[in-house]
Amino acid sequence: MAYQLGLDTGGTYTDAVLIDDNQTVVASAKSLTTHEDLIQGLRGATQAVLSDQMRPITLVSLSTTLATNALVEGRGRPVCLVLIGYRQEQLSKARLVEALGRDPHGFVAGGHSASGDPVCNLDVAALTELINSVKDSVEAFAVSSLFSVRNPEHENQAQALIQKLSGKPVSCGHSLSSGLDAPRRALTALLNARLIPMIRSLLRAAEQLLSETDISAPLMVVKGDGSLVSAEVAEQSPVETILSGPAASVVGAQFLSKEPMLMVSDMGGTTTDIAMIRNAQPRLSADGATVGGWRTMVEAIDVKTFGLGGDSRILFNREQRGFVVGPERVMPISLLINKHPELKQVLHKQLELPRSTTHSAEFVMAHAAEPTDLTKQQQELWEYIKRKPIDVQTVFDDQTLDRAMLRLTQRGIVLRSGFTPTDAAHIVGDLNEWDTEAATLAARLLMRYSSNNLGLHFDDEKQFARHIMDEVSRLTALAILDTHLSEQIADKSRFLKGLDSSQRKLLADLLVDGEHDELQMQLALQFPVIGLGAPVGSYYPKTAQWLKTTAILPEQGNVANALGAVVGSVRQQHEIVITPAGGKNVSVHFKSGTQVFDDLELAAAAAIDVAIEEARQLAAKAGAKNISVEYQREDNIVDTSGEKVFFESRIVATAIGRPHTVNS
């Protein structure tokens, strides 16, 4: 008997699953994700499922929520965006200005027309000046050229020059998407560049783990569409691992559930990821993955991601006079005190004060190596906290450090700790992993703050904890309804992408305990919800009650991501576009350049042959064996007054195969 190992690195836990040749789960385990040194979490989970008898390991596959979490929380490494042939006003589209933040960017002359012809030569001198001015302050470059999907010549030239002058990794728009939307393609390239250092560190940790455990099996990574690619391919295109964890969980849900139609809801530490399965097939996003508000051009399972998890920050909103959940992730106070028991005295001292503050029961700690390029205030804050965790009240004796704290948190340099739903679960007895007394002390501080600011009064800590957990259940039900109704709206209208703010508010108003409301409405799902992830047992039974449906909570649901990672297949696509070239001539836009044909059918035949071979090569490079390839041809030909006018033809070849194993 041989075995295959599935791993998932999440925001809170790292999971491991071992299956045999019959795809039977023989062992599973969880370990805390160690963000400062990812191999520790991988090592802990792997050692818990491996033994000398569980050999040989023929395949290792990894999924992760690191890329998803980084986008949801607004974190990432500094990069430079190179825009070739763009106009200044295009920067305002696709939220590019917001995505760039303080990162540098530059406009360079060049680019191509829709037919693939160059508008002008690439301005190498301007590009050289830009590279030299920023290469020491960024960790990667993103390059997007107008109509690069029709002719990637200038992106390829820019990539070669950047690597020569800086040695830094480069993300090119044409290699990530074949879609015609230059600003969104630039956004996708920007996010990809920003994620490269993060995914690279994870892959290095996984490779070190395989070396330590004497495993020589191929290492695969789950993409956002649920398919697998080799680690080498994933390192070059980490943006494709956006929604990797959620996609793996959907694949795992299919494996675990026999229901042909169900909603998959995967709750982790940072996010809740929701997807629909119909006819035993997951729904794919028709317009690219959207995460944290960023509309990328990455093909992925149609997953909606909400900043709602077991480690969501619980914060009192003075305007609403109530507690809000997330979207920011913090370390649970029970976990922090479990690691640093001396800090419990800080909570006792805060309770001895006459009043709680907005920062009561909150701590902050270093979350990265010694950072560079800090402002004076950021450096001052870093000096406060780099040695050990410190309570935020002490830090904010100097209120001017508030903005510095926000910036360091966004960059992933520091991490907050505070009260979370996980702490509430400790108080009510659903969990007993860490320091329940610390969670109770933090709850008292928050209860007092609520009472002092015209919020709810609670009889005891358990009532408060139950209130928080009920709110998480309600918000989960709202997220499920939002996902389902948005899908229905989008399917009926290509102009509407989902619910608007007023519709979401109406749903939220309906989904409350309305004993005294004059008008009551009930919402009921006609299909079950499968809850995945470690925390779901505490929240999803109540969520199912809100939705008048059934909650399926499978035994292996808390490691569904790792399970989905190892039972998936390799899937690669290659698309070729054919456009008019005057008269009956047509242009075929191959990766190597544009070629003109005097007959559409001859052009299509050539494009099909090339697309099939390119898809096959992509699948082989991604680590597939026993590859099968299918293609689709879609012609856009309009009949006007009896005359047929050709606008465009698209050839899409799809190659599918199982990943290579040691003995294959």
Q: What is the CA radius of gyration of the chain?
A: 26
Tokens of 435: 């320091």
Tokens of 234: 């994933």
Is 647 exposed, middle or buried, given 0-12, 13-18 or 19+ CB atoms closer than 10 A?
exposed
Region 357-370 average pLDDT = 84
DSSP state of 651: E
CA nearest to 396, candidates 378, 386, 414, 381: 381
Express each pLDDT in 277-299 by its tens digit: 888 778 887 678 777 778 888 88
Express each pLDDT in 144-154 by its tens digit: 999 998 889 99
Q: What's the confidence (pLDDT) of residue 588?
A: 94
pLDDT band at 492 (very low <50, low <70, confident <90, very high): low
Give the integer Cα–Cα distance in Å for 4 and 608: 36
**Cα separation of the two ends of the chain:** 14
Q: 62 - beta bridge partners?
A: 7, 221
Q: What's the confidence (pLDDT) of residue 399?
A: 61
Express each pLDDT in 459-476 by its tens digit: 999 999 999 999 999 999
Q: What's the confidence (pLDDT) of residue 494?
A: 53
Q: CB–CB of 401/382 below 8 Å?
A: no
Q: Are strands 529-532 and 551-552 parallel, antiparallel or unpaired?
A: parallel
Residue 83 confidence (pLDDT) above 70: yes
Residue 491 confidence (pLDDT) above 70: no
Q: CB–CB of 446/556 below 8 Å?
A: no
pLDDT band at 1 (very low <50, low <70, confident <90, very high): confident
Q: What is the mean pLDDT of the chain?
A: 88
Q: If one looks up domain 72-198 in CATH, what number appears?
A: 3.40.50.2300
Residue 516 confidence (pLDDT) above 50: no
Q: Which of 277-281, 365-369, 415-419, 509-513 has the highest mean pLDDT?
A: 415-419
Region 173-188 average pLDDT = 88
Region 544-565 average pLDDT = 89
Peptide bond into 535 cis (omega under 30): no
Q: Does residue 429 come out as left (phi exceeding 0), alpha (psi in the -120 to 50 range) or beta?
A: left
Express each pLDDT in 605-649 by its tens digit: 999 999 999 999 999 999 999 999 999 999 998 887 778 889 999
CA nearest to 362, candidates 326, 389, 328: 389
pLDDT band at 225 (very low <50, low <70, confident <90, very high): confident
Domain ranges of the chain: 72-198, 569-659
Q: Per the confidence metrics, is the pTM higher than 0.85?
A: no
Q: What's the confidence (pLDDT) of residue 518?
A: 56
- SS (HEC) of 519-588: CCCCCCCCCCEEEECCCHHHHHHHHHHHHCCCEECCCCHHHHHHHHHHHCCEEEEEEEEEEECCCCCEEE
Selected from 3.30.110, 3.30.70, 1.20.58, 3.10.310, the CATH number assigned to the domain covering 569-659 reads: 3.30.110
Residue 493 confidence (pLDDT) above 70: no
Residue with tokens 């990265």: 368
Q: What's the confidence (pLDDT) of residue 76?
A: 76
Which of residues 599 and 286 earns the better pLDDT score? 599
Residue 403 confidence (pLDDT) above 80: no
Q: Are strands 170-172 and 219-222 parallel, antiparallel or unpaired?
A: unpaired
Region 343-365 average pLDDT = 93
Among 78-82, 102-106, 299-303, which stretch is predicted with the lowest mean pLDDT?
299-303
Q: CB–CB of 399/377 below 8 Å?
A: no
Exposure letters 550-574 (e unless 16+ CB within 10 A, then b): ebbbbeebbbbbbbbbbbbebbbbb
Residue 376 confidence (pLDDT) above 70: yes
Residue 108 confidence (pLDDT) above 90: yes
pLDDT band at 557 (very low <50, low <70, confident <90, very high): confident
pLDDT band at 431 (very low <50, low <70, confident <90, very high): very high
Q: Which residues contact 149 (CB under 8 A, 6 or more apart)?
A: 173, 174, 177, 178, 179, 180, 185, 577, 589
Which of residues 316 and 238 earns the better pLDDT score? 316
Residue 116 confidence (pLDDT) above 70: yes
Region 202-226 average pLDDT = 93
Which of residues 72 and 29 earns the better pLDDT score? 29
pLDDT band at 555 (very low <50, low <70, confident <90, very high): confident
Tokens of 241: 């691992």
Sign for the CA dihedral angle at 390, 391, 396, 400 comes to: positive
